[in-house]
Amino acid sequence: MPPVPSSPLPAPVPTAPPPGRAPRPGLWSLCLSGCAFGLTPSGRAPEDTATDLTSEETEEREIMIERVVPPYDFTDGGAEVVVEGGPFAADAEVKFGDEIAEVLDVSRGEIRVVVPEQGRAGTVDVSVSGATGSASLAAGFNYFDDGRGKTGIIGELSWTRYLGAYWQLDPVDSGVAWFSVISPVRLAHSELYGRAIGYCAANYEPPAFTPYAGVDPAALSAPGVSNLRLGWSAADSAFVSALDSSDFLTNTSYDLDGLVLPGFPEIDVEGVVQTPPSFNLTSPNLDGAVAPELGPATTVRWTGATGDGVLLVMGLHNGAGTAYEAVVSCVADPAVGEISVQGSDWSSWIPGRQVDVYLGVSRRSDATVPFNGSLSEFAGVYWLFGAGFSI
């Protein structure tokens, strides 16, 4: 049913964030749609110092490799890792694929080495040879491309608060979380909504990224929040979950706990996402009893916004009220306190239509992904949502 001047249509089903076109190709099509790590060596105390074994002892023992801790490094190598197993002799030689590692220390149960450089990313066998015999651990070590300075996790943990008393149906505040672990790329969460700070665009298409496939659900935790699980959606190439009111806490740090992806080490990320405090939208007045009239040139103002960016999304409904005919999205500096949409920013503007207005404050994390050093752009966003009518 198309909107009428006294009562806009309710928002889309409240499991959807504003139209940030994310995750690609879009979880919610017509709906309005972001360190320290636990992957450390085992902590096991070194065993007794390695000694050369006699030929009889060599015949009685079989050498084995249990694991490498941690089991990853960049392709240029250089990290210190521990090969666990044994019994190892003092003359042990360690190879990662065909490359010989620098041995720093040997005990009967552990060999500490410097990871050698590899020409490409991927898994390699780890082998040990010496007076006690030889052994190999198939696909025992992962080489990753250096992700430092690039984004390795993208997503959004968001909550939407409805404004105004003019809805035909009583809206319910709602939230959604989604994220993807991606091939490292230079991409900020704000670029899901606009090219840069101070930028507005019609029907904006964000940059593409390449997610890694998941299988098992992902788990987020925070003080007062437990067992927040995001299931893997193959259709959206993202971990996704609707949120209850108790799941989203403002000004809070969330951890990613024990994420398992095929071909990757287990991922634990402290502070993978940070949520901002709440704030106020001051103009236009979307929180009254009557929906306001909105022109194509509109200035949106706010107070109390603390975060890394302010996101504005405005959607002009089609005549049936079933989809957006045109969308304008903008990114602004929270400290500026306002952003102006120009008439020329719209691909079309038709009077008498419902116009949805989403204004959100985003907060980025400063966490990094352990195995490739990439950044988390899994952002927390607090949205305010109201509507008016085009004139």
For the stretch 73-97, pLDDT in tens is: 999 999 999 999 999 999 999 999 9
User: Does residue 381 carry a pLDDT above 70?
Assistant: yes
C-beta of residue 158 within 8 angstroms of C-beta of residue 176: yes
Tell me which residue has tokens 């903008």.
330
DSSP assignments along 76-119, one per residue? T---EEEEEEEPPPTT-EEEETTEEPEEEEEBSSEEEEEPPP-S
More confidently predicted of 58 and 349: 349
User: Does residue 25 carry a pLDDT above 90?
Assistant: no
Please state whether beta strands 151-162 and 375-390 pair in parallel, antiparallel, or not at all (unpaired). parallel
Determine the average pLDDT of the residues in 296-311. 97
Q: How confident is the model at residue 243 (pLDDT cuts 50, 70, 90)?
A: very high
Question: How far is the C-alpha of 29 from the C-alpha of 12, rounded, in Å?
Answer: 11
Distance of CA 327 to the CA centre of its chain: 25
Residue type, 306: T
Q: How confident is the model at residue 265 (pLDDT cuts 50, 70, 90)?
A: confident
Question: How far is the C-alpha of 22 from the C-alpha of 34, rounded, in Å?
Answer: 10
Task: Tally Cβ neighbours within 10 Å of residue 373.
Answer: 17
Q: 3-class DSSP state for residue 291?
A: coil
Domains of the chain (ranges, CATH numbers): 55-144 (2.60.40.10), 151-390 (no CATH)
Determine the average pLDDT of the residues in 156-170. 96
Q: Can you give the pLDDT at residue 16?
A: 35
Question: How far is the C-alpha of 62 from the C-alpha of 390, rounded, in Å?
Answer: 79
Q: 3-class DSSP state for residue 71?
A: coil
Q: Can you give the pLDDT at residue 1?
A: 27
Q: Can you give the pLDDT at residue 61?
A: 57
Q: Can you give the pLDDT at residue 32?
A: 35
Determine the average pLDDT of the residues in 163-184. 95
Indicate the pTM of the whole model.
0.79
Determine the average pLDDT of the residues in 308-322. 96
User: Does residue 262 carry a pLDDT above 90?
Assistant: no
